[in-house]
A and B are shown apart, each in its own frame.
Chain A
Amino acid sequence: MFAQQIVNAISLGSVYALFALGFTLVFGILGVINLSHGGIFMVGAYAALLLLTRFEIPFWAALPLAMLAAGLLGLAIDLLILKQLRKRGAPHLMPMIATIGAAILMTSLSQGLFGSETRRFPLDLFDQESFSWGPVTIPVLQAGITALSVLLMLLMVWVLKRTRIGQALRAVAESPKAASLLGIPVERLFHLTSFVAAALGGAAGILIGLSFDAISPFMGQPMLHKGIAAIILGGLGDVRGAVLGGLFLGAAEVFAVTVLSSEYRDALSFGLLFLVLLWRPQGLFGASATRSA
């Protein structure tokens, strides 16, 4: 029983972590809380659904294509909204308000285009089997979802730590001004970050759509709340923190259901967020002592 819970916690937490990773990346590098990340997550899921059902593309091709679509949407938001605000040097509340607007717009458009009802990925798509290992049962689908999100996260961390682009990105995160003096094309990296973060968000949308077997225009906002909780638990802008925060949140939710009643599960992430902000605003895993912006 306990081992099964741990497996469930890792599986849920790894998708939360994937979502939070893109979310925190944008904050770390652009210095912006992009509240349309939940909308992008939802659009990713619908893009994959359309590709699978309307165009009957196999899943292995639909996943990257849907991620590309989500990524382009993120890029568009950066070019049309965030870039304009950067140019003006707008106060930090402005991008938050504008991206809330973008999220409302996306939700409303998909509600109008696809209807409000919950949709599902075609079921015959995947192996319904599961493999057992002692007391633990893992459906193949769940294992695949976990493996995919872990893979994407490892890829991302590798890029950030080991490649020249990653080095440049870390320089921008430290100080955009200094990075630009060193000849780093800061604006291009902002675009790249928005694209990659949104692609990861879209991937998380597909994986959550698969694991809960439900896609709806309103799925983005509860996820956004969880993402906010995860990145605040981990410390804003901290990649490792976002991953740990996501896993922690997944575990907290899975184990909370066994202890608390399930109605309070949705309050848990925010209760945690609230307490962490009061007690350690720099996040559970963050190192720096002061964060005020």
Chain B
Amino acid sequence: MDWSSWWDTYSTLVLSIGVYGMLALSIYLTLSCGLLSLANAAFMGIGAYMSAIATLQFEWPFAFALFLGTVLPAAVAFLIGIPVLRLSGVYLAMATLGFGEVVRVVLLNLDITGGPLGLNGIPPLTTWWHVVLALALTVALLQALRRSRIGRAFEAIREDETAARLMGIATDRIKLLAFVLGAAIAGLAGGLNAHYTFTLSPGNFGFESAVDILTMAVLGGIQGVAGPLLGGAILTLLPELLRGLQEFRMAANGLILIAVVLFMPQGLWDPARFRRWRRSRGTRAEA
């Protein structure tokens, strides 16, 4: 099989690996700050619809459409983040789940979003280098954050929020930053996704998608940026590999969630485990 026919068959899959990697990174960002937010699918939806409306109905340039698709979810996240982030733990998870459901129903009932039919015939503007560039920028940003004071603050808040606040960290502002940045990344991923799948429907951004995104991050592990990318890639490829299972295909996702939580709570990508392996092999070599 030559390259161009391979690409015709698999381009959607390859682009999806990158886009879902970004989504997994967006939830990694909030999780690394100790926040379980289930709103990222909704932010992805807002970004996807915003940029698709920009190119489809207003025929604005793609770059500007992606910019809008990044900024609008971030702005929404800023507005709801101020009150919502006062909550923590399960209360935050429930509130963000509720927000996601409200977004889904609003997308379902607005005229400009095409209602239950969604949007069709979105121009195919996303090419591979858009995804690579967006992913590279996201990874670079997250890596830079991780090594900065803000990244240390994330870690401090995750370990003990009260202690972090007593150390003088402006926990409210830092959490809001993680939430807004996560929404921006998810929105950008949504905008890219809309322009290679060509169609959008509100059902794509409901609770199931929120859970899918969470599964990617949990499976990969949230010890660094490699984990979510790995989890995103595995869960994007898995349905293709399990195609023979048909209706039972989703069962694999369920089993993965349970198994990872029970047997591998740090996820697949766990640098501490890798170090342990290396050390145990080292001692065996000496003996």
Contacts and interface: CB of A to CB of B under 8 A. Distances in A.
Q: Do chains A and B interact in one complex?
A: yes
Interface of A: 33, 81, 84-85, 88, 90, 92-98, 100-109, 111-112, 115-116, 221, 225, 228-229, 232, 236, 261, 263-264, 266-267, 270-271, 273-274, 277-278, 281, 291-293
Contact of B90 (A33, A100, A105): A33
Contacts of A291: 91
By DSSP majority rule, is chain B's interface helix, strand, loop, or mixed? Answer: helix
B150 interface: no
A93 B36 contact: yes
A92 B247 CA distance: 31
Nearest to A105: B254
Q: Give the interface size class of chain B.
A: 35 or more
Interface of B: 36, 83-84, 86-91, 93-95, 97-99, 101-102, 105-106, 108-109, 207, 211, 214-215, 218, 246-251, 253-258, 261-262, 265
Contact of A108 (B98, B99, B250, B261): B250
A289 B234 CA distance: 44
A291 B95 CA distance: 14
Contact of B109 (A102, A116, A225, A264): A264
A282 to B, nearest CB: 10
A105 B258 contact: yes
Given A221-B207, A264-B109, A267-B105, A96 B254 contact: no
Contacts of A111: 247-248, 250
Contacts of A108: 247-251, 253-254
Contacts of A101: 215, 253-258, 261
A232 B101 contact: no
B27 to A, nearest CB: 12
Contacts of A221: 207
B220 to A, nearest CB: 13
A84 B263 CA distance: 10
Nearest to A111: B247
B53 to A, nearest CB: 20
A106 B250 CA distance: 10
A76 to B, nearest CB: 12
By DSSP majority rule, is chain A's interface helix, strand, loop, or mixed? Answer: helix
A112 B253 contact: no
Given A96-B36, A266-B101, A90 B257 contact: no
B251 A85 contact: no
Nearest to A100: B211
B94 A277 contact: yes
A141 to B, nearest CB: 30
A90 B258 CA distance: 13
B251 A104 contact: yes
Contacts of B251: 104-105, 108-109, 112
Given A98-B257, A112-B247, A292-B88, A232 B214 contact: no
A221 to B, nearest CB: 6
Contacts of B262: 81, 84-85, 98
Nearest to B214: A97
A267 B91 contact: no
B179 to A, nearest CB: 15
A103 B207 contact: no
A37 to B, nearest CB: 13
**Which of A101, A111, A267 has the most C-beta atoms of chain B within 10 angstroms of its own C-beta?**
A101
Contacts of B253: 101, 104, 108
12 contacts: A85-B262, A90-B265, A92-B90, A98-B257, A98-B258, A101-B253, A104-B211, A104-B254, A232-B91, A264-B105, A267-B102, A270-B99
Contact of A100 (B102, B257, B265): B257
A103 B12 CA distance: 29
A67 B272 CA distance: 45
Nearest to A110: B247
A281 B83 CA distance: 11
Nearest to B252: A108
Contacts of B248: 108-109, 111-112
A72 B258 CA distance: 19
Nearest to A279: B83
Contact of B257 (A84, A97, A232, A278): A97
B160 to A, nearest CB: 12
B261 A277 contact: no
A276 to B, nearest CB: 9
A29 to B, nearest CB: 15
